[in-house]
A and B are shown apart, each in its own frame.
Chain A
Amino acid sequence: MYSLKVSNLCKQYTETYLFQDISFELHPGEVMAISGWNGSGKSTLLRVIAGLVRPTTGRVEMFFKGESIAREFRRRFVGMVAPAFSLYEELTALENLEFFCKVRGIGYDRESCLVIMEQIGLSESAGTLCRNYSSGMKQRLKLAQALLHKPPLLLLDEPGCNLDSKGMEVVENIIADQRRSGMSIIASNERREVDYGDRVINLSK
């Protein structure tokens, strides 16, 4: 139903190309992994695909039943987790989820948010301020935030960072769930995370 098409993507800083001529297509049920050395542009590539950064050249297009989705609607179809992201520290976990539900225009429903909290293993500390969360718990909550609107395209930048082995299982379940209906792109250098991908793009030249 949905598909993603990335063509000739290029990002240039000063005279050096961060990455050059990236092209691929992604369809539901597929998982793609992006690997590469530090500074090879994994994170930036994901940010370009999410629409946070404009590419120097090339295009990112998303299709629904063959029709292109306009840029301003794309945020409804993308969920993203990245180490550089943060959630609101002065809100509790549940309040964070409530906020993102409302701001995304999906009616807030406490029950289903609690279900998500359960899935990421945070149901006991749903009422704790995020300021008091450990970095692993924050990472789990970021995963929940990215899944709230059940995005067809999930962008995971180092999804396992700061996570313990139970947390890694959560990530594994999320990717397996996503594989059933949607697309995912994982950027990582961890052997285990890269192995989730059916295909791997290596950015280091």
Chain B
Amino acid sequence: MKGGRWITETGSSTYLSEAVAIWFRDLRGEFRTRYAVNAILMFAVTTLIAVSFSIGSFRIGEGEQPFLYAVLLWIILVFSALSGLSRSFVKEEEASTMDVLKLSARPQAVFLGKLFFNLTLLAALELIIVPSFILLMDYKIELPGLFVAMVVSGGVGLGGGTTIVAAMIAQASARGALFSVLSFPLLLPLMITAIKGCEKAAVGTNNSGWPEVRIAVAYSVVMIVMSLFLFPLIWEE
């Protein structure tokens, strides 16, 4: 065949470049179908409106606000994420493109590509929901730096902890419910940390070193590294 090349010259290709190819393909597909974004954002916006409508910004007393608002914010973020983060893998299975992907891409590259895609979705989710939540609920934050760091590191942890679960449930039955059931216990430590961090940021507790952010970062690193090790086992054959 004239157009083909022998594959022995693959030295220049890295896991990263292959992962980026998968990431961009998912983004392109997502841009054209808005499959996952619609699910996540509509879920998030609906919940946000429900919370804001039923509670409003005056119902909760000043003293209770930092804690309760942090809880509400993270419940919205975590459950919106759980409603849509499995889409990228589930869609591969539903459109029966998974086998071709298994035959052409290295598992670690697939994991990283899907992780990047999920992190992009989470970034979009947080960019829309967090500012709206602050505005609608009149959320006063004393330490914006800590707050932003907590939201970002919490988002990375959400993606890092759930991407491998998404790959598993895509190959199982009863996918939608199973994703939340499996992910939630894994996410609980992260969620409790993030709530505490956001509460401290709102109150303005002076705690040097941002322990909550550090726990969230450690959680993300551990989950991503473990997933990279374990992913080939659930992806191949």
- Residues of A in contact with B (beta carbons under 8 Å apart): 47, 50-54, 72, 75-78, 80, 82, 84-91, 95, 99-100, 102-107, 112-113, 115-116, 119, 145, 147-151, 174, 177
In whole angstroms, what is the CA distance A145 to B4 when docked?
11
What 8 pairs between A and B have smallest CB-CB spacing? A105-B13, A150-B4, A102-B21, A115-B3, A112-B3, A116-B3, A105-B10, A54-B237
Q: Would you call B223 an interface residue if the criterion is a C-beta within 8 Å of the partner chain's C-beta atoms? A: no
Q: Which of B7-56 contact A (CB under 8 A)?
A: 7, 9-10, 12-13, 17-18, 21-22, 25, 28-29, 32-33
Please name 5 pairs of A and B residues whose Cβ atoms are closer than 8 Å in the assembled complex, sorted by A.
Answer: A90-B28, A106-B7, A106-B13, A119-B1, A150-B7
Q: Would you call B214 an interface residue if the criterion is a C-beta within 8 Å of the partner chain's C-beta atoms? A: no
Which residues of the other chain, B, contact A113 by a CB distance below 8 angstroms? 3
Q: Which of B151-170 contact A (CB under 8 A)?
A: none
Cβ B106 vs Cβ A87 within 8 A? no
Given A86-B100, A88-B25, A107-B12, 6 extra CB contacts under 8 A = A75-B105, A86-B97, A88-B95, A99-B21, A105-B17, A150-B1
In whole angstroms, what is the CA distance A17 to B147 when docked?
60
Cβ A95 vs Cβ B2 within 8 A? no
Which residues of the other chain, A, contact B150 by a CB distance below 8 angstroms? none
Which residues of the other chain, B, contact A91 by a CB distance below 8 angstroms? 25, 28-29
From residue B23, how far is it (CB to closest CB) to chain A in Å? 11
From residue B115, how far is it (CB to closest CB) to chain A in Å? 15
From residue B170, how far is it (CB to closest CB) to chain A in Å? 15
Which residues of the other chain, A, contact B103 by a CB distance below 8 angstroms? 50-52, 75, 78, 80
Q: A84-B96, A113-B3, A150-B5 are in contact. Are A76 and B29 (CB under 8 A)?
A: no
Which residues of the other chain, B, contact A87 by a CB distance below 8 angstroms? 97, 100
Residue in B1, B7, B18, B237 whose beta carbon sits within 8 Å of that of A76 in the complex: B7
- Residues of B in contact with A (beta carbons under 8 Å apart): 1-7, 9-10, 12-13, 17-18, 21-22, 25, 28-29, 32-33, 95-97, 99-106, 109, 232, 236-237
Which residues of the other chain, B, contact A119 by a CB distance below 8 angstroms? 1-3
In whole angstroms, what is the CA distance A7 to B5 when docked?
30
Cβ B99 vs Cβ A77 within 8 A? no
Cβ B21 vs Cβ A90 within 8 A? no
Residue among A51, A82, A150, A174 with the most chain B CB within 10 A? A150
Which residue of chain A has the shortest Cβ distance to B35 in the bound complex? A90
In whole angstroms, what is the CA distance A100 to B109 when docked?
13
Residue in A51, A52, A76 whose beta carbon sits within 8 Å of that of B10 in the complex: A76
From residue A106, how far is it (CB to closest CB) to chain B in Å? 6
Which residues of the other chain, A, contact B95 by a CB distance below 8 angstroms? 86, 88-89
Cβ A106 vs Cβ B5 within 8 A? yes
Which residue of chain B has the shortest Cβ distance to A174 in the bound complex? B1
Residue in B12, B25, B29, B99 whose beta carbon sits within 8 Å of that of A82 in the complex: B99
Cβ B28 vs Cβ A95 within 8 A? yes
Which residue of chain A has the shortest Cβ distance to B29 in the bound complex? A90
Cβ B1 vs Cβ A116 within 8 A? yes
Which residues of the other chain, B, contact A75 by a CB distance below 8 angstroms? 102-106
Which residue of chain B has the shortest Cβ distance to A108 in the bound complex? B21
Residue among A99, A105, A115 with the most chain B CB within 10 A? A105
Cβ A115 vs Cβ B237 within 8 A? no
In whole angstroms, what is the CA distance A95 to B24 when docked?
11
Cβ B96 vs Cβ A103 within 8 A? no
Which residue of chain A has the shortest Cβ distance to B108 in the bound complex? A72
From residue A33, how far is it (CB to closest CB) to chain B in Å? 21
